[in-house]
Amino acid sequence: MLEKIHKKLKELVLDWLKELEIQHRYSENTVICYRRDLFDFFDFLNLHEGVMVDLDVLKNLKLVDFRAWLAHRSEKNLSARSNARALSSVRSFFYYLAKLKFIDTKVIDSVHRSKLSKLLPKPIPEDNIIKFLNQEFYFENDPLWVTNRDRALYTLLYSTGLRINEALSICTKDIESEMKIRGKGKKDRIVLLLPITLERIKTYIHTCPYDLREGFLFLGVKGKKLCASVVDVRLKKLQILNNLPEHSSAHAFRHSFATHLVQKGADLRSVQELLGHESLESTQIYTDVDDYNLLKIYEKTHPLENE
């Protein structure tokens, strides 16, 4: 895609991506998404304008051009949420150019994204998750150490609210009752491990056939770092066997951790710190989940509902 844009613009794109990673401390995956969205925009302009994209092309864009791009994306059955994220990516690059005084942002600021429906996190019910964590085994043909690994990992996810990639990046030598975790934006936070979590991790370590002392804690059957995709594939297969809801995934353990804490009366500031959220607004969605659950209980149990 870089060959379809002018050399000067290419240099600016690379500098912008570097700024996102270094100064804004965006994760590698986030930077990849921003890059993909911007190149999708350039690809559209290349076809739409019929010329190589350069700064002059971007300066002369009209509101109708942005709307045409978003309409083009919608025709490809991309969701409103995906379009909103892509627009944010392109807007970020335009703001970067504006900061360097190459263009102004008046036109792109006038592009309004579609109103998004609020997606509430979907936790796994408490009874389901406790029963699941205490299973004797997960798959009959698995070696004992794999069962111990999975139980330790699932317990860790539910008891700490770690993101799956955070959990899989833990090294064995760092395991303590209080651990420093590097999360999104390369920001560190302290995570507390409950005694049962530590016990299950130690059981896994003692039964694992590989030397875990100097490397990652969670390994796959071939002795390499366990992949998040493998975790989710295994969970997908375990849904029916363990009466887990369809949305069960590694990330659902994080949602369950936060939702169940809020339901038990934990204050939002504490949950925010535990999750590693930058703003309280990100954490407040879990109060919405609790309110939603309360409303469903009310609808099912109030005497007038049965009239």
Contacts of 85-88 with C-beta under 8 Å, sequence gap 24+, read: 85/33, 85/37, 86/37, 86/40, 86/41, 87/111, 87/113, 88/113
Measured distance CA(152)–CA(202) in Å, rounded: 9
* Residues carrying an active site annotation: 163, 184, 251, 254, 277, 286
How many residues would you count in the chain? 307
Measured distance CA(2)–CA(59) in Å, rounded: 19
Identity of the residue numbered 304: L
Q: Is the dihedral of CA 113, 114, 115, 116 positive or negative?
A: negative
